[in-house]
Amino acid sequence: MSDIDLLDLPLVLLSNRGPVSFDRDTAGRTVTRGAGGLVSALSGLAEHLDDAVWVCGAATPEDAAVAGENDGGSILVQTQPSPHVVDGKPDGPSIRVRLVVTDPDAYADFYSVWSNPILWFIQHGLYGRSLTPVLTRADHDAFENGYAAVNRAYADAVADEVRSRGGKALVLLQDYHFYLVAEHVREQCPDVVLTHFVHIPWPGPDEWRILPGDIRERLLRGLLGSDVVGFHTRRYARNFVLCAGELLGLPINLDELTVQVNDRTVRARYYPISVDPAALDATLASEEVAAHVAMLRYVFLDEDRQLVLRVDRTDPSKNVVRGFLAFGTLLDQHPELVGKVSFLALLQPSRTDVPEYADYIALIGAVVAEINARHTKEGRQPIDLRMVEDFALAVAAYSICDVLMVNAIADGMNLVAKEVAVVNRRGGVLALSEMAGAHEELGEFAVTLQPFDVQQMADALYAALVMPMDERHRRLAAAAEQVRTHDVRRWLNEQLADLSHLAGFS
């Protein structure tokens, strides 16, 4: 019997972005399936259950129109072979979706003031503290009228779906947008089995002391409405338990990773999220990727040259600037590598409406220009910076790079490292930040980066580039085996097994 078979309860999922989105083109309404490993894994779960609904935000005007046409209730979407709404019985895999429409001003405060940047910055350690943040009455109001109000709206939608199923359901909440939802749902539906998975780092108590005391207490107590709070690593789970003990004064057990809330025991658990190796293998085998590989080999790998790669968003937490400074230092100290090693950076602009992010993008460009000016040889620039979001191009680059650089200041997991481990065919070396969640699994197979130490990172890059080929292949094979045997389905099934046990089914 599989873990999914053990779930003799209706399932209610909640995430900010859903499994499908609606839009319009000249032919009328369109339906697009969501991308990414998380959506694929959760969709696969929901599609195989008799009674499941996915609650998510109405992200487009057409999403809101669809919600309005159905009086805010759920709709049934057949997902394959092409996604479309069905009125009767579907003849293929399907998901029931409930789109939640919220006030635009409240949503802006929820998403653009609190979720990003405040919670994101706290949980990634991005505040300098001496000057930032400056929390004002406007931020207090944005929390109450935005983050808290939107959380209540989503909680009410989840609770409504639970009540319509008799008051008992398995509820899976996702990420940092919804820290207040679990408590609200439990108040309305005390018989739920509820888990909240946090996909970004969870820092220790001192970082949370940046927030006003009443707000941090509400966030923690909101999460503690869950039966299980899931994280990517043991360190994050332990930090959460410490926060409950130090900031709320609740009884905790650090060995068992539990928090006592009145008569309930809340469990902190860690489940490292992963990728879908079969999907990556299929992408690698595509003609589109093959064309990109041929182009990249021609540009970067003639005459025994080597290629360093990074694929990232331009989020300051990704530490792109220090990564380029380390590469510049490498070329300064090893001039024999100039013209022999290229650095391809495929970066996706991120949250450009946030001033800190826009400033960071400008700084990235300036640093790259300075390094290229210093080390261009025979017309060949050492850094090729491309602002592009192209998964096929990324997979092609994954497959032929000599080194992948991941030097994040903080990262919940970092799936790029796992993707490279699966598809690289060149004995590529993972140069991996000790602050990325992936380091807990893959660190022993990687060259470790200390993300604030530019000299250390330059030395680590050099060690990776000169590593004997048999050692490179040994490490890569071990990393690939770890990822293939701990894929995204295992990530989900381990959570389901724990929840099934709590619900009394195992």
What is the average per-residue pLDDT within 209-235?
97
Go through the chain and tell me how many residues it has: 506
Out of 81-85, 264-268, 333-337, 345-349, least confident range: 81-85
Model confidence at 493: pLDDT above 70: yes
Maximum CA pair distance of the chain?
72
And the tokens for 304? 């025994």
Q: How far apart are CA 231 and CA 273, in angstroms?
A: 9
The full DSSP string for 310-328 is: EEEE--GGG-HHHHHHHHH
Q: How far apart are CA 15 and CA 17, in angstroms?
A: 5
What pLDDT digit, counting tens, does each position of 397-415 carry? 999 999 999 999 999 999 9
Distant-in-sequence, close-in-space partners of 35: CB < 8 Å, separation ≥ 6 = none
Distant-in-sequence, close-in-space partners of 49: CB < 8 Å, separation ≥ 6 = 4, 7, 10, 11
Q: In which band, very low, low, confident or very high, does the pLDDT at 195 lie, cut at 50, 70 and 90?
A: very high
Distant-in-sequence, close-in-space partners of 466: CB < 8 Å, separation ≥ 6 = none
Q: Do 165 and 10 touch, CB atoms closer than 8 A?
A: yes
Candidates 15, 67, 66, 16; CA nearest to 42 is 15
Q: In which band, very low, low, confident or very high, does the pLDDT at 503 lie, cut at 50, 70 and 90?
A: low
Q: How far apart are CA 104 and CA 108, in angstroms?
A: 6
* Beta bridge mates, 195: 172, 228
And the tokens for 307? 């290629």
Query: pLDDT value at position 502?
Result: 73
For residue 129, the SS3 value is coil
Neighbour-count burial of 436, counting CB atoms closer than 10 A to its CB (0-12 exposed, 13-18 middle, 19+ buried):
buried
Other residues' Cβ atoms within 10 Å of the Cβ of residue 35: 10
Candidates 447, 461, 344; CA nearest to 394 is 344
262 phi-psi bin (left φ>0, alpha ψ -120 to 50, beta other):
left
Q: In which band, very low, low, confident or very high, does the pLDDT at 490 lie, cut at 50, 70 and 90?
A: very high
Q: Do 333 and 372 touch, CB atoms closer than 8 A?
A: no
Query: pLDDT value at position 86?
Result: 86
* Beta bridge mates, 432: 406, 448
Candidates 81, 70, 94, 92; CA nearest to 19 is 94
Kindly report the three-state secondary structure assignment for every residue of 331-382: HHHCHHHCCCEEEEEEEECCCCCCHHHHHHHHHHHHHHHHHHHHHCECCECC
Query: pLDDT value at position 350?
Result: 87
Candidates 426, 447, 461; CA nearest to 301 is 426
| Total-model pTM | 0.94
Q: In which band, very low, low, confident or very high, does the pLDDT at 423 lie, cut at 50, 70 and 90?
A: very high
Model confidence at 431: pLDDT above 60: yes
The full DSSP string for 420-472 is: HHHH--S-PEEEEETTBTTHHHHGGGSEEE-TT-HHHHHHHHHHHHHS-HHHH
What pLDDT digit, counting tens, does each position of 4-52 carry? 444 578 999 999 988 899 999 988 899 988 776 677 778 878 877 788 9
What pLDDT digit, counting tens, does each position of 255-314 carry? 999 999 999 999 999 999 999 999 999 999 999 999 999 999 999 999 899 999 999 999
What is the average per-residue pLDDT within 445-474?
98
